[in-house]
Structure 1
Amino acid sequence: MTVAFSRAATETREVAGEEPGARRRRRGGRADLRRQRVAAWAAVAVIGCFGLLPVYWFVVTAITPDGAVFRFPPRLFPTSVTFSHFTSLGHNAQLLRYLLNSAIVSLSTAVLSVIVAAYMAYAFSKFRFRGRSTLMYTILASQMFPQALLLVTLYALFNAYHLLNTYFALILSFSTFTLPLCVWMLKGFFDGIPDSLIESARIDGASRWRTLHSVVLPLTRPGLIAAGLFAFVRGWNDFIFALTLSGPRTQTLPPGLVNTYIGEFQTSWADLMAASLAVSVPVVVAFAFLQRYLVAGLTSGAVKG
């Protein structure tokens, strides 16, 4: 019994001697984890301020009276608020025309890009033909060139065929820039569809056309939505092509807002901010509802393409 008691006492002293060191290590680990969390949240706060501060100032300018817009020093929190800049938008018939033009051009660009890209991506994914890889990478390489370099060529081409100042010129020019990414995005979705499923449809008597439209396309609906959203936003936000290739009748919102509120001697900043904020709402709402499809499409195209 004496020997057992001595052994227990020895083990107790050893454990007691080890506890402070282990406790210090645990405390150090928790402290390091706490510092990492604080650093991560601090980085998120800095990045969030960097990204959201311009948006906040955008909103503040839109609700600030005209006489207080150029006040110096500027105030982070406005002392007086007005919504007259928003209410006046409904009475601007020209602005509503720009909004309609943007909707027509953007939706048409999205539909055309998705239709053409779906057939191209399916051919690249499920067919093997000579020059396939070269053509695929050539399409992707077209994204490496600045789009403004093609503006002079497109202007001369549309002018020769009397297509300037038409919706068709804008839709066609926007589609040429959205197609490469849409093709690669959809190809990633088509690569994920097993060939055995397509072979089963062929065995059941379905033609290639019926297999594509009744079997494959319904399974790639997220990719089609992602490609359509990308093309829509591209057509909605373009400025330089819409300014150069369109006229007063077909001009879209980005150049229309500039021509309406920015003049040679005076700029209506509050009205411009209010109009820009109002016309951004449709895109923000659409992106909020469909962003998961866009992320899935970009991820699929990046991993499987």
Structure 2
Amino acid sequence: MDEPAPRLTLPERLGRSLALIALIVGGFFPFVWMLLTSVKTEGELQKFPVQYLPGSLNFANYAQVFTQQPFARFFFNSLTVSLLSTVLAIVVAAPAAYALSRLNIRGRGLLLTLVVAFSMFPVVSLLVPLFRLMRGVHLLNSYPALILPYAALSLPVAILTLVAFFSAIPRDLEAAAMVDGSSRVGALTRVVLPLSAPGVVTAALLVFVNSWNEFLLALSFNTRLDMRTVSVGVTLYQGEFAFPWPLIAAAVVIATVPIVILIAVFQKRFVAGLTAGGVKA
């Protein structure tokens, strides 16, 4: 029988509570400050001493976000690119992870090492060759110019996440499916993927967030205004000598909404995927 966990003393409980409070405040304070800034006026923002709370809620900044720049178009571009790159990455990563976790592949450890090594490449080191490639195939200022690199750069994380989950699923379940006439692909789609739902959701969210937040490739590959993404569009509100921080803060808050919604909707599966994947890997 497992021994009961030792009871914490009052100082220990107090210390853990304070550490948790500090962690929560440190994690949420930047977003809360951005949210408060987005409903302030320029005058309130420049007051000294600092005025932490706005005198009144100024939602005009949110309206100006869409009138000064085609932010709705930026939002649509980011959503399209992020969704399609996520789908493409998962479609490619799932069979790759299945092969690495199930098939007797010679040099499997080396392949996983290469996957990890590729994930460490900084994007800036790949900018020039990727730009020349996209220009050579005439994909600049198009959705594929971002979808293809985003999916490729996210593959290592997606593969490693899915390998951890696929390896934990008993092989007997697939063997039973194949005895009933299912193919390897059928076993993957009908048995392995449904049982690995938390891992699939985790991998998909990681790919989506990376694609949504990416800035360098979006700035370099899509230079037309109507093809800009949210991450680049937020920077277009500042002028040569003016930095309208309330307006920029409002744009940042709007850009954060999809990520907040996704995490809220898939929170349980995402947390389960992160914890279980970390243990099973």
Q: How many residues are aligned here?
A: 275
Alignment match, 2:91: 115
Structure 1 residue aligned with 2:3: none
- 2:216 maps to a residue whose letter is I
**Residue in structure 2 matched with residue 225 of structure 1 by the alignment:** 201
Tell me the TM-score normalised to structure 1 length: 0.84
Q: Which amino acid aligns with 2:83?
A: L
Contact (CA 8 Å) 2:201, 2:270: kept in 1 or not?
yes
Shift of 1:125: 0.8
C-alpha contact (below 8 Å) 1:63/1:85 kept by paired residues? yes
2:266 is aligned to 290
1:173 aligns with 2:143: no
Note closer, same or farther for the CA distance 1:118–1:72 as it changes in structure 2 (3 Å cut).
same
Select which of 38, 42, 46 maps to 1:66. 42
Distance 1:110 1:245 in 2: 19
Q: Deviations over 1:116-150 (max 9, x none)?
A: 01010001111012222211210111122222211
Instruction: Indicate how the Cα distance of structure 1 residues 84 and 257 shifts in structure 2: closer, same or farther if over 3 A, else same.
Output: same
Contact map agreement 2:45 2:51 (CA 8 A) in 1:
no
Tell me which residue corresponds to 1:250.
227
1:125 pairs with one of 85, 97, 101 = 101
Answering whether residue 276 of structure 2 is matched by residue 304 of structure 1, we say no
The amino acid across from 2:234 in the alignment is L
Q: Gaps spanning 5+ residues in structure 1: where? A: 1-28
Compute the displacement of 1:107 (Å). 0.2
Offset from partner CA, 1:182-204 (integer Å, 9 cap, x none):
10111111112211111111211
Closer, same or farther: CA 304–44 of 1 in aligned 2, 3 Å: closer
Unaligned runs of 5+ in 2: 1-5
Once the two structures are superposed, residues 206-250 of structure 1 have per-residue CA deviations (whole angstroms, 9 ceiling, x without a partner) of: 222222222222222222222111111111111111111112232
Counterparts in 2 of 1:127-276, with a 5 A limit?
127-248=103-224, 249-259=226-236, 261-276=237-252
Distance 1:221 1:186 in 2: 10
Give 1:250's aligned amino acid. M
Secondary structure of 1:264 counterpart: coil
Kindly provide the amino acid, as one letter, of the partner of residue 240 in structure 2: E
Distance 2:14 2:191 in 1: 50
What secondary structure sits across from 1:121 in the alignment?
Answer: helix
Superposition deviation, residue 40 in structure 1: 1.9
Question: Is contact 1:110-1:228 (8 Å) kept?
Answer: yes
The one-letter amino acid of 1:253's match is V
| Percent of matched pairs sharing the same residue | 37
The one-letter amino acid of 1:117's match is A
The structure having more radius of gyration, on CA atoms, is 1
- Report the structure, 1 or 2, having the larger helix content: 1
Aligned-partner residue type, residue 281 of structure 1: V
Deviations 1:75-105 (A, max 9, x none): 1222333111123345456110000000000
Counterparts of 2:188 and 2:25 in 1: how far apart (Å)?
47
Letter in 1 for 2:34: F
Question: How far apart are the structure 1 equivalents of 2:198 and 2:12?
Answer: 37
Amino acid at match of 1:148: V
CA separation of 1:40 and 1:207: change in aligned 2, threshold 3 A = closer
